[in-house]
Amino acid sequence: MKIDSTIAITDDGKTNHNKLRLPEWELTDLYLKTASKRSKCYRPVDAPISNTAALGIDELNFAPEKEDIEIHYDINDPTAQIKSGKLELFCRFNKKPLWSIDLEKLGEEWLKHGKHTVKWDGRIINSNTPITGKITDHNIEHSITGQTPDLNYDKAAFPDGFITLEHTPYKLRLTLTPKNAKIIGNPTSSWTYFHILIKKMEIKLAEEAMIPAATVDDKRHKMDKALRTVIETDGGVPATGQTRKINLISNLYKTSSAEMNDNSAFNLYKTLWDEGAQIPLILDVYIADSTGAEVKLVDSTKGAVVLGNTKFLWDWEDPTEDVAGQQNATSPYEAKPKAFIESAIDYYKAGTDTTRAADDHTYPKGDNCHADRGGKRGPGAKSIAPDQTGYDPKDTLDVGKFPFKVEACKNRKWAAFSYGWSKGKLKGQTGILFRPSRMAGDNYNLTVYLANDVSAKDTWVLDDKTEPLPASPKIKVSTGTWQVWREMHLSRYVRKKNSIAAYLPTNIGAVQSIYDDAYISVVDKIDPTKNNYVINDHRKADGNAVDYNALAVAKINAANNPHFVNDRCMDRSADHGAEDSGLKTYAYDKFVQKLHLFLHPGIPAAANDISSMAAANGMSVTGLSEAIGSANFGPPPHAGAIARLVVTKNFLVNNDFERNTKYSRWLDRQCFGVLRAMVGDGANLGLISGAKTGETPGADDGVTVVHFNYSNTYLRDLVAAGVGVGMINGAAIGTDSHRKACVFIFTNAMLDTFCHEIGHHMFLPHARYSTSASVPGGAQPNRHDDTDANCLMSYNRPRHAFCGLCQLRLRGWDATALNKISASNKKT
């Protein structure tokens, strides 16, 4: 090595004592310092052992922009050999520095011999503008906190001109270069590490403005806003260990009997709620400052810049459904629905499907409704956190638009990444639009992870199919269980007379216990000041009082039953409205007398007085009519009476009226038909709107119950007397196109009847077979569990629950994808 040097020499004849020494320099230390901590300095392996090697920690952290720290470096260069230096910032798996500044351009003070202290708050600057340092002896002080952040340095890495969570942990390296490359320097570089740390995260319900809408305040937007309000009222996001219901209002009812036998229930529910509710969720981010104290970015005037382009991964798990716990196991009849449902939800539970290899494990494990049945778990299923374009941060939100950018993960296809805002109204926050499936009974546990960890460049560690994701508790936060329910309203309860024992609201709990099985909330929307009324107290939509008698006679006449219109069963002019039963009718004795007179016109009344004949033989009219044609009574004191009685008897037998109980069954059916016509005519009773649209303001959404004390007075009196007789307990009434409102007549207060008739309105047909002689509307074997003869939709008592297939249809599942054979629904 040749180095030129100028030296002084002694006088002639004297010994020269000059010694030529090769100039040396070194970077003796580099570390970051907070008020109470310093980071550790690292040097090349061939560098001399540092006196400060044992000092410092690798875990030093601070809150960029929020607080200042100090960069310390010591340069030992008394002969001023150093020409230039670079301060560089690195992240993992990237050989190129994220940031580099040229100390020579910042000014000569930055490379002088001495101890340097640089005040820094994490901002990124360029080195084109000199920054004058303050020199005191060999202590040089610098500050870059007063410099304008360079927003154009690297917009992807530093969108706000500050270091961010995205790239933590960081490596800061200082490299020095001499003027002459031959001048020895050791070490020529040193480096240190530091972090930005998450302190905690909180998932919260976002404000209403963030709910997206095709048109602000359109029908769907109002539904989502109303749901969000209910969730907020109930307590918002469920904490770990809690369950929060997502009640999807589902006042959807059949408008024809045919809709019980097709897939209308599935299609209409899909139209109503589409891919599920739209629930905006936000994540509040807290970081730790250098002392370990939390900094809530949303409330801090500084610090939210650390979000930058940091990714947050939103994941969900499907907790195992507790089928046995959901079923109201009050009898052995609950075992069959339980078994059917357990088989049906055991459908690719492992998240794998060898029949569709290309889509294998593209969805999480679990038992939520599979995409094959209309749910959101399965190949190609819609995301519970769909992509969002978001918009730029601002101080006032755009109503009806979701603000944060959200994008699907590459490998964990059921999860999504979200990005936050570093300024504006939502600074320090990120979020997703949570869209659970519309299927009642589906469960979701949400977890959010800080997703900055990479295994290679642009390869995110958490974007992986592993279940559950392995991650430190410090970088994740979870919710409790979100559980989807459907919500059905009881909107009106009408009694014929207030003397009828009120069934509602007393028995709503019992009704709820049955619909609980299918995750349907039965909500009491009955306004006692308006809707818990008796018919005669009600006013129609036009303000006029209901004329019950006039309406009854009109419908009786329209039915054109000869026994009714000829007043054989009743006096049409009687005060039907005064009775608690639907219609005031004659007892069997009087009906037989009226019929006998009709069959034998022209005979004097005295000769045709069956009552006198019966009395003469010590019988009632009923006993007499049953004895006609037998030898059990003597000749009446009227000529020709026996022959006439035989004619009457034959008529009764031929028309199935030969006993009072048979007459009662017939009369019940006929009277019920009249009541159907009366109640179904909503314009007259004012129960629902008489118009032919489901959106008419007069039509209350939900179920209207019209309660009579039996269909007629004779049946009522027989029951009161303890006579065993069959009867109609209730019936679902067609309401034309009133899709959101329905009515049913309740004539015998029985819980299973109440739930059965509402089941019809909710598209459930009668069970596949019944011990009853007839099944109105026909039985539908493909719509019921093949082994469950006691489905609530059957006529077979006891009937405590809907069968498993009915329950899944009530949840919203696709009926065409379900099989009546339980084992056929299971897939592995």
DSSP characters for 154-170? -TTT-TTSB--GGG-SE
Distance from C-alpha of 419 to C-alpha of 432, rounded to nearest angstrom:
9
With a cut of 60, say whether residue 540 has pLDDT above it: no
374 and 521 share a domain? no
- Decide if 178 is inside a domain: yes
* Per-residue pLDDT tens over the stretch 120-138: 999 999 998 999 999 998 8
- Residue 703: which CATH number? 3.40.390
Pick from 444-453, 490-499, 567-576: least confident: 490-499
52 and 168 share a domain? yes
Quick one: pLDDT at residue 68?
Answer: 96
**Cβ pair 98, 177 in contact under 8 A:** no
- Decide if 467 is inside a domain: yes
When pLDDT is cut at 50, 70 and 90, the band that residue 697 belongs to is very low
**Cβ pair 651, 600 in contact under 8 A:** no
With a cut of 70, say whether residue 727 has pLDDT above it: yes
Distance from C-alpha of 74 to C-alpha of 240, rounded to nearest angstrom:
51
With a cut of 50, say whether residue 692 has pLDDT above it: no
Instruction: Give the domain-ending residue among 196, 231, 258.
Output: 196
Class of residue 662 by CB neighbours under 10 A (exposed 0-12, middle 13-18, buried 19+): middle
Average pLDDT (617-624) is 64
When pLDDT is cut at 50, 70 and 90, the band that residue 696 belongs to is very low
Distance from C-alpha of 525 to C-alpha of 487, rounded to nearest angstrom:
11
Of the ranges 16-25, 338-347, 360-369, 594-603, the best mean pLDDT one: 338-347
SS3 429: strand
- Residue 65: which CATH number? 2.70.50
Quick one: pLDDT at residue 700?
Answer: 73
185 and 257 share a domain? no
244 and 152 share a domain? no
Residues 255, 258, 259, 260: is their CA dihedral positive or negative? positive
Crossing angle of the two packed helices 588-599 and 641-654, in degrees rounded to 10: 110
* Per-residue pLDDT tens over the stretch 734-747: 765 578 888 889 99
First to last CA, the chain: 77
* Per-residue pLDDT tens over the stretch 805-827: 999 999 999 999 999 999 999 99
Crossing angle of the two packed helices 588-599 and 660-680, in degrees rounded to 10: 90
299 and 400 share a domain? yes
Quick one: pLDDT at residue 694?
Answer: 38
- Decide if 78 is inside a domain: yes
Tokens representing residue 123 in the block: 């901002």
- Residue 672: which residues within 8 A CB-CB, separation 6 or more? 582, 711, 728, 731, 745, 747
Domain containing 778 equals: 503-532+693-825
When pLDDT is cut at 50, 70 and 90, the band that residue 631 belongs to is very low
Average pLDDT (557-575) is 93
- 127-152: b or e for each residue (b if 16 or more CB lie within 10 Å)? beeebebeeeeeebebbbeeeebbee
With a cut of 60, say whether residue 548 has pLDDT above it: yes
- Decide if 709 is inside a domain: yes
- Decide if 450 is inside a domain: yes
CB-side neighbour CA atoms (13 Å) of 318: 27
In single-letter form, the type of residue at position 350 comes to A
Average pLDDT (649-655) is 84
- Decide if 739 is inside a domain: yes
Average pLDDT (475-495) is 95
Quick one: pLDDT at residue 610?
Answer: 67
When pLDDT is cut at 50, 70 and 90, the band that residue 245 belongs to is very high
With a cut of 80, say whether residue 689 has pLDDT above it: no
Tokens representing residue 25 in the block: 């320099």
394 and 254 share a domain? yes
192 and 211 share a domain? no
In single-letter form, the type of residue at position 221 comes to H
Q: How many domains does the chain have?
A: 3
With a cut of 50, say whether residue 634 has pLDDT above it: no
Quick one: pLDDT at residue 632?
Answer: 40
* Per-residue pLDDT tens over the stretch 42-87: 999 888 887 777 899 999 999 999 999 999 999 999 989 999 999 9
With a cut of 80, say whether residue 779 has pLDDT above it: no
* Per-residue pLDDT tens over the stretch 110-120: 999 999 999 99
235 and 183 share a domain? no
Distance from C-alpha of 544 to C-alpha of 153, rounded to nearest angstrom:
77
Average pLDDT, rounded, for the chain:
88
- Residue 319: which residues within 8 A CB-CB, separation 6 or more? 366, 443, 445, 481
- In the chain, the largest separation of any two C-alpha atoms, in whole Å, equals 184
When pLDDT is cut at 50, 70 and 90, the band that residue 253 belongs to is very high
Residue from 529, 575, 547 nearest 686 by CA: 547
- Decide if 54 is inside a domain: yes
Instruction: Give the domain-ending residue among 452, 487, 522.
Output: 487
∠ Cα 767 707 515 (to 5°)? 45
238 and 155 share a domain? no
CA distances from 61 to 149, 165, 451, 474, 631 (A): 20, 11, 18, 15, 111
414 and 300 share a domain? yes
- Decide if 656 is inside a domain: no
Pick from 337-351, 698-712, 753-767: least confident: 698-712
Pick from 242-251, 480-489, 722-731, 762-771: least confident: 762-771
Of the ranges 323-332, 436-445, 601-610, the best mean pLDDT one: 436-445
Distance from C-alpha of 227 to C-alpha of 223, rounded to nearest angstrom:
6
With a cut of 60, say whether residue 637 has pLDDT above it: no
Distance from C-alpha of 524 to C-alpha of 505, rounded to nearest angstrom:
7
CB atoms within 10 A of CB 462: 26
With a cut of 60, say whether residue 748 has pLDDT above it: yes
When pLDDT is cut at 50, 70 and 90, the band that residue 698 belongs to is very low
∠ Cα 37 42 47 (to 5°)? 140
Residue from 747, 743, 748, 737 nearest 760 by CA: 743
CA distances from 266 to 43, 258, 277, 345, 793 (A): 68, 14, 16, 17, 18
Q: Is the preceding omega at residue 332 within 30 degrees of 0, hence cis? A: no
208 and 292 share a domain? yes
SS3 172: strand
Instruction: Give the domain-ending residue among 487, 522, 555.
Output: 487
**Cβ pair 542, 686 in contact under 8 A:** no
171 and 312 share a domain? no
With a cut of 50, say whether residue 693 has pLDDT above it: no
Placement of tokens 């509710």 in the chain: 277
Distance from C-alpha of 63 to C-alpha of 122, rounded to nearest angstrom:
8
- Give the start-end residues of each E strand in 51-187: 69-76, 82-90, 99-102, 114-120, 134-136, 139-143, 170-178, 184-185
**Cβ pair 124, 153 in contact under 8 A:** yes
